[in-house]
Every structure is written in C-alpha cells, then in structure tokens.
Chains A and B, each alone.
Chain A
Amino acid sequence: MPQEPHKEHTIRSFEQELKVLENSIAQMGGLVEAQFSDSILALVRSDTELSTQVLEHDHRIDALEREIDHQTLRILALRHPHADDLRAVIAALKVASTLERMGDYAKNIAKRTLAIAQAPSFSGPISTISRMGTLVQEMVKNVLDAYLTRDVQMAEDVWRRDEEVDRLHTSLFRELLTYMMEDHRNITACTHLLFIAKNLERIGDHSTFIAEQVHFLVSGRLPTEERPKSDETSTVVVSTDQP
C-alpha cells in the first residue's frame, strides 16, 4: 500500500534514520553508475589510466555496502519497522548487496580492459559492446531513479528491457566466436571481451532484480509474471563452415 508522501513518523529520529539509509543507497547507486560508465568508457577508448582508476575506486562501494548493512541492522534491532518501513529496510539491504556485485562487475571490466591493452591490437566488436554498455547503463540509471522515487512503471520498463540486453549478448557471443575462428591471434582479446559481455549481461540481470524490489517495496508483492528472457549463449554453436 503506497503511503502518502508528506506523512512523517511521530518519532522524528526514526524518520531521520530511514532518510539516512535512503541517502546511502542513493550515494552507493551513484558510485556504481559512475564506476560502470567509466569502465565502459575506458574499454572503448583503451584508456588504461581510467581503468586503473576504476580498480582503485571499488573499495568505496564496498565501504558503503558495509555502512548500509550496519544501518539496516540497527534499524531492525532498535526500531522494529513495520509495513512499508519494513519493506524499505529489507529492500535496502538487498539492493545494497546487488549494487556491490554490480560494482564488482565494473571492476572486472576494468581489469580485463588492462589485459586487452597488452594483447595484439584488435577492435572488431567494440561498437556492439559499446551499444550494449549504453543500454545497460541506461537500465542501471533508470532502475535507481525508480527505486528512489518508488516508480513502479519505470521499474517495470527496466525489467522488460533486459530482453534486449540478452539479445545483444547472444549476438555478441556469436560475433566473438567468429572472430576467434578467423584469426587465432584474436583469441586473447576476444576471450576477455566474452567475459566483459557476460559482465554486462549480469549487470542487466541485477538491474531487473532491483526493479523487482521496487515492485515489492510499493505493492508488498514481487511481480508474478515470468520475466522475458532471450539469452541463448548457453546453447550457441558456431559451425566452422561459416565465414
């Protein structure tokens, strides 16, 4: 049941604690967004300096996750929240751990970008990766906005868009296998790019998880509908006869 936005708790310090928790999530979300977009930018531009910076900044996300863990534990122990407050605290806990993983994927993209920089030069599928990156970035941004504004509609849009990410992932997977068959010198870069594509796909999945939490927060229920999925990479076979 959505609450009237203007209504505040009788106990003002409780209200304050919930606001602090919400701000921590907003801050953590902002950090993850920045880390992720830097990791993609570094990949597209082969910017090793920026990749290194992403690696160095990951600990900030981890620290915020610990902070949010602490805040939620404290609220649960001392405030015994109920109804939408309870859901907000539980969702914050889950979203924080999801954001932390998304941060890890960004960090992994940065690591692999450094590895690719040392491999023989190869820039074949970068434009597809960049397109996938932009799409996932938009999902991350929108789902965080949806979370902070309790916008179920926006969350649902994100939830549905993940299918597009799955499709791009499948086509990228085929593309990379083909490059590897063409020239074995591409294998190092392509293998790393495969993992990067997988990371992007995972970040997309995590965004849909947050979207589901928005639904839970507002309505008290998770979406009942099955999420549309189009990731076929687990079954892809590229025949050697193909060019």
Chain B
Amino acid sequence: MSTEQRPVPTPTIGIPLMTDGTPKVAARNVNVYYGDKHAIRDVSMDISQREVTAFIGPSGCGKSTFLRCLNRMNDTIDICRIDGRIAIDDRDIYDRKMDVVQLRALVGMVFQKPNPFPKSIFENIAYGPRIHGLVDHKSDLDQLVQSSLERAGLWKEVKDRLDQPGTGLSGGQQQRLCIARAIAVQPEIILMDEPCSALDPIATSIVEDLIDELRASYTIVIVTHSMSQAARVSQKTAFFHLGDLVEFDETEKLFTNPQEQRTQDYVTGRFG
C-alpha cells in the first residue's frame, strides 16, 4: 500500500457507495491475494458511521477476508498481499506510520467462538485498558470495567462474581464478555465475525439486541452466515461472491428487491 496521503478516488465499479455524508471507513479498489489466489477483487465501499453493516455471501466469498482488512488482521498471514486503499476517518490504515496496536484498539473485533482469557471476569475486561494505559487509578479501572459490562448488558448477571473465571460463563455470556472486552478499550468501530454462530437462539437474540443498542455509539460491521440475522440487525448489507462485491444497498432493499441476479439467487436460496 502506498504510504502517501492521496485523495480518495471514486470507485471503479458500478456500485453505489451508500454513504450519507462522511464515511467512517472508505475502501477503494481493494484487492487481496493469498499467494496466487485472488481473494478480493477490486472492492470499493463506504461504511457509514454509527450503523450496522452486514457482509453476507457463501463460504469462501471473501466477506471475512475483507472484514479482516479493516483492522489489518490479515497482516499476520505471510502469503497475504493487499493493495488499494482503506481509510478510517480519511486516514490510510495501511500507512507505514500507522500504529497497528492503536488501530486494533480503534477497531475492535469479536470472533465466532467466544474466546475469553483464562482469567477472572474482571481481568478479562481490565487487561486491555491497562496495557493501553487508559486508566491511572484503580477506581477508574473499576468504573471502566463496570460501564463496559453494563454496555454489553452483562453487568447485572456477573456483578457478584467478578473474580470468577470468564470461561465459567455460558456461551452467550462469554460472547457478551468478549464484546465488553472490545468496548473497554474505547473503540470506534467493532468488527464481528459471525458472533452468534456458536450461540443458541435466545443468546443470539440477546446479542442481536445488544448490537442494535451499540450502534448508537459505534460503527459495527458484522459478517454473518444467517441472512435473517443480517436482515434483523443491519441497516446496510453487502453481498460478496467469489471475491466480488456484487451488491451493496439498504438492507431492506437488498432483501425485498435486489438489483443483481446473483444477489437474487442467493437471498432466495437458489444457489449452488
């Protein structure tokens, strides 16, 4: 990626950028290669501030790969090569001067399988703010842990057992603990890679409700295999197929009147 700050070019493909005003994330002509495999093909899109954007598509379509470009998680894969430009608040995140640790605090991530640290509930939340030096006093840390757990809708359930291991919680609670952990370092964007696929329907509803609440404060991008989940939680939906961004539109429009044949086939279950 280029290190210089250049103006954001207009996208080269005929997909509306779907942004009202300044986008939180602007991706332009992004290509991702795993060795010889061209995993993402010339994707340009704008992700709006304080909205939920869902990425859908069949396995291997590139949705998770693209999501991982947004906080440079693909950097850890040696054979992965990325070109194009991704800017957050107009700042190129692949700029050489970009501090990746800071970037990942700004862009938090929640994974498919809840992965709490093998530590107490309190320590799970306190760890991030401590290493990022976000708090000076113990009382501030206590306050931050509480507010993070409150925002993740978990406080009432765990406030009397903060010293117990995070791994002892139920699957749904563990996932909310991971969301609280992501929130604790005060991110602006939260990426979620199939956050509910290991949860039962009730835990899923609780997390979906939480996502809806969080969007007032954060920009959320969620990858999901469940089209009904995308329909339920997001305001905009992007459909990926074979590395192409096929269609990106208001969620309601994409599920009632998609414009592309491939989207139509996918959302109506005529694929494969």
How far apart are the CA atoms of A85 and B227 in the complex, in Å? 15
Which residues of B sit under 8 angstroms from A121, Cβ to Cβ?
none
Contact A83 B267 (CB under 8 A): yes
Residue of A nearest to B267 (CB): A82
Q: Give the distance in Å from the alpha carbon of A82 to the alpha carbon of B231 in the complex.
A: 10
**In contact, B259 and A1 (Cβ under 8 angstroms):** yes
In the complex the two chains form, what is the Cα distance from A81 to B255 in whole Å?
A: 9
Whether B265 pairs with A86 at a CB distance below 8 angstroms is: no
Shortest A204–chain B CB gap in Å is 29
Q: Which of A8, A10, A221 is the one whose CB lies under 8 Å from B257?
A: A221
B209 vs chain A, min Cβ distance (A): 19
Question: Complex Cα distance A81/B227, Å?
Answer: 11
A224 within 8 A of B: no
Residues of A within 8 A of B268 (CB): 3, 9, 81-85
- Most chain A beta-carbon contacts within 10 A, residue among B231, B260, B268: B268
Are A87 and B261 in contact, CB atoms less than 8 angstroms apart?
Answer: no
Which residues 1-52 of A have a CB within 8 angstroms of B? 1, 3-4, 7-11, 14
Partner of B227, one of A1, A3, A10, A82: A82
Residues of A close to B257: CB separation below 8 A = 1, 83, 87, 219-221
Complex alpha-carbon distance, A240 and B255, angstroms = 60
Could you tell me the distance between the alpha carbons of A70 and B271 in the complex, rounded to whole angstroms?
Answer: 28
B228 interfacial contact with A, CB 8 Å: yes
A87 & B256 in contact (Cβ 8 Å cutoff) = yes
Q: Tell whether A184 is near chain B: CB-to-CB under 8 Å.
A: no
Question: Min CB distance, B169 to chain A, in Å?
Answer: 31
Point out the residues of chain A lying under 8 angstroms from B263, CB to CB: 83
Residue of B258, B259, B270, B271 with most partner-chain A CB within 10 A: B270
Q: How large is the interface on A (under 10, 10 to 19, 20 to 34, 35 or more residues)?
A: 20 to 34
Contact indicator A10/B272 (Cβ below 8 Å): yes
User: A233 to chain B: closest CB distance in Å?
Assistant: 38
Of all chain A residues, which has the CB nearest B231? A82
Verify B228–A7 contact, CB threshold 8 A: no
Q: Does the CB pair B264–A8 fall under 8 Å? A: no
> Are A1 and B256 in contact (CB-based, < 8 A)?
no
A164 CA / B271 CA spacing, docked (Å): 45
CB-CB under 8 A from A8, the residues of chain B are: 270
Residues of B within 8 A of A83 (CB): 255-258, 263-264, 267-268
Nearest A-chain residue to B258, judged by Cβ = A83
Interface string of A46-89 (1 = CB under 8 A from B): 00000000000000000000000000000000001111111100
Which B residues are CB-close (under 8 A) to A219? 257
A3 touches B264 (CB 8 A): yes
CB distance from B31 to the nearest CB of A (A): 28
Report if B269 contacts A (CB, 8 A).
yes
Which chain A residues border B272 with CB–CB below 8 Å?
10
Closest residue of chain A to B228 (Cβ to Cβ) is: A80
A11 to B272, CA, bound (A): 11
Nearest-Cβ distance from residue B252 to partner chain A, whole angstroms: 11
Collect the chain B residues with CB atoms within 8 Å of residue A81's CB. 268
CB-defined contacts of A14 to chain B, threshold 8 Å: 269
Within 8 A of A (CB), among B222-272: 227-228, 231, 255-261, 263-265, 267-272
Least CB distance, A14 to chain B, in whole angstroms: 7
CB distance from A45 to the nearest CB of B (A): 48
Candidates A7, A11, A220, A221; contact of B265 at CB < 8 Å = A7
Within the complex, the shortest CB–CB distance from A135 to chain B, in Å, comes to: 33
Which single residue of chain B is at the shortest CB-CB distance from A3?
B264
* Closest chain B residue, CB of each to CB of A8: B270
- Using a CB–CB cutoff of 8 Å, the interface residues on chain B facing chain A are 227-228, 231, 255-261, 263-265, 267-272
A3-B264, A86-B256 given; 19 more Cβ-contact pairs under 8 Å: A1-B264, A3-B261, A3-B265, A3-B268, A8-B270, A9-B268, A10-B270, A10-B271, A11-B269, A14-B269, A82-B231, A82-B269, A83-B256, A83-B258, A83-B267, A83-B268, A84-B264, A87-B257, A219-B257
| A residues whose Cβ falls under 8 Å from a Cβ of B | 1, 3-4, 7-11, 14, 80-87, 219-221
Q: Which 10 A-B pairs have the closest CB atoms?
A: A220-B257, A82-B267, A85-B268, A7-B270, A82-B255, A83-B267, A83-B268, A9-B269, A1-B264, A83-B264
A-B residue pairs in contact (CB < 8 Å), sample of 12? A1-B264, A4-B261, A7-B265, A9-B269, A10-B270, A80-B228, A83-B255, A83-B257, A83-B264, A83-B267, A84-B268, A87-B256
